[in-house]
């Protein structure tokens, strides 16, 4: 498993420069580093000073770089899907559709990026993966994808299993499944079958990685421009909604770090070479000392959610189902409560010092 570092901020604030400098710093320290960019154009290669291809290539000692090309990734993943289809279905119906024919639909690039990062992390060839992505709200939706998939699966599984429809169709599912599936059908609960469990395990692992600051970590990048500062602050708050650790701020062009307290602030110098910039970067090997996105106190039946950059007017709280839904800005989150709080209703909510504090009873 690798440490994955990513950068959030307004376009033009220096995210790609920070990603490259970070990769150079860590590789010089002896870490095996993979630098991954989503920039499909030539700009990233010019900034790096080396051509970057769709296959990881070594560009310096301990440093590899790769440019994600989504048409190729879609083709590769389609091939893997067809192999699974052939494994589980007696008569695969996607066999006549070829990956070279497929075009990208909106949102596919995010899913392909997340899967590529997962595969690079799982291959054990790298100690650190430095991700140069879009660094915006779409990027955060990508990182929040495992939690979103988990919620859809758990919620609709619960609704389906409790429905009269489920009880009515299940007697007919077994013979149909036996005729279609090469495994001979789905005995028992089809949600517990190995092929389903394999997918849910990947989702669970992804959620755990996002919440672990020694596995996945983000840094804000901002200049002194008020729009860049406001954008970085908004992304900071939105990242807390997916429980991603924002470990610090990389500040360009002389701005101060007051809007980002209590995050550690790292002013970046303007220089013509990489050395001063690399020296100004944080110690990425240290455990971050920043507020946790969620704090749960069972003795007082309270939950504290760290939501910087938002105020109470921007936060909406609902509890329609077994979980509490928190909407902040354009980010919606379903908070899964610990067993001790399951079944309890929210009895109080207040916003204080960047924290949403919920009481249950």
- Residue pair 239/212 in contact (Cβ under 8 Å)? The answer is no
**Structure confidence at residue 8 (pLDDT):** 98
Of 104, 114, 169, 102, the closest CA to residue 141 belongs to: 114
The phi, psi pair for 302, rounded to 5°, reads -125, 150
- The three-class DSSP label of residue 296 is strand
- pLDDT tens for 296-347 read 999 999 999 999 999 888 999 998 767 899 999 788 898 888 889 988 999 9
Identify the pLDDT of residue 178.
Answer: 65
347 C-beta neighbours (distance < 10 Å), count: 10
Strand ranges across the sheet with 315-318 = 315-318, 324-328, 331-335
| Measured distance CA(302)–CA(305) in Å, rounded | 10
Chain segment 1-54, per-residue pLDDT in tens: 899 999 999 999 999 999 999 999 999 999 999 999 999 889 999 999 999 999
* pLDDT score at 112: 93
Domains and CATH numbers, the chain: 3-72+101-143+212-280 (3.40.50.300), 149-205 (no CATH), 294-360 (2.60.40.790)
Residue 53 Cα distances to 67, 101, 215, 247, angstroms:
5, 22, 26, 30
- 3-state secondary structure (DSSP) of residue 239: helix
The pTM of the full predicted model, rounded to 2 decimals, is 0.89
Gap between the Cα atoms of 290 and 276, Å rounded = 26
Convert the pLDDT of each residue in 182-213 to its tens digit.
665 555 555 555 556 666 778 888 999 999 99
Q: Give the strands of the sheet with 294-297, arranged side by side.
A: 294-297, 302-306, 355-360, 346-352
The 10s digit of each residue's pLDDT in 67-94 is 999 888 888 888 888 887 787 777 788 8
Spatial separation of the C-alpha atoms in residues 113 and 124, rounded to whole Å = 18
Confidence check: pLDDT of 275 > 70:
yes
Please check whether residue 44 is in contact with residue 67, taking contact to mean a CB–CB distance below 8 angstroms: yes
**Whether 239 contacts 265, CB under 8 Å:** no
Q: Which of 47-51, 91-95, 116-120, 262-266 has the lowest mean pLDDT?
A: 91-95
């Amino acid at each position: 498993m690798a440490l994955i570092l990513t950068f959030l901020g307004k376009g033009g604030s220096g995210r790609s420069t920070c990603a490259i400098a970070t990769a150079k710093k860590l590789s010089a320290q002896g870490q095996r580093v993979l630098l991954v960019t989503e920039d499909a154009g030539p700009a990233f290669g010019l900034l790096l000073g080396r051509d970057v291809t769709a296959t990881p290539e070594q560009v310096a000692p301990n440093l590899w770089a790769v440019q994600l090309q989504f048409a190729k990734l879609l083709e590769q993943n389609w091939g893997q899907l067809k192999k699974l289809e052939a494994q589980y279905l007696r008569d695969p119906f996607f066999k006549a559709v070829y990956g070279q024919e497929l075009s990208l639909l909106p949102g596919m690039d995010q899913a392909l990026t997340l899967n590529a990062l997962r595969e690079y992390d799982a291959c054990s060839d790298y100690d650190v993966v430095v991700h140069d992505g879009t660094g915006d709200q779409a990027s955060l939706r990508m990182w929040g994808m495992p939690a979103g998939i988990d919620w859809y699966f758990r919620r609709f599984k619960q609704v389906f299993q409790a429905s009269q429809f489920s009880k009515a169709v299940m007697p007919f599912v077994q013979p149909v499944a036996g005729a279609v599936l090469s495994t001979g059908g789905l005995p028992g609960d089809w949600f517990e079958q190995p092929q389903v469990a394999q997918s849910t395990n990947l989702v669970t692992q992804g959620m755990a990685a996002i919440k672990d600051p020694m596995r996945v970590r983000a840094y804000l990048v901002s200049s002194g421009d008020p729009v860049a500062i406001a954008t970085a602050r908004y992304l900071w708050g939105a990242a807390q909604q997916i429980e991603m650790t924002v470990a610090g701020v990389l500040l360009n062009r002389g701005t101060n770090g007051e809007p980002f307290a209590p995050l550690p602030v790292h002013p970046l110098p303007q220089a013509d070479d990489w050395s001063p910039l690399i020296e100004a970067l944080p110690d990425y090997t240290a455990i971050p000392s920043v507020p946790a996105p969620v704090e749960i106190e069972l003795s007082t039946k309270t939950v504290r959610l760290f939501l910087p950059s938002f105020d109470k007017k921007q936060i909406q709280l609902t509890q329609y189902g077994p979980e509490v839904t928190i909407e902040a800005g354009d980010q919606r989150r379903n908070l899964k409560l610990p067993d001790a709080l399951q079944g309890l209703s929210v009895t109080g909510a207040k916003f204080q010092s960047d924290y949403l504090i919920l009481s249950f009873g």
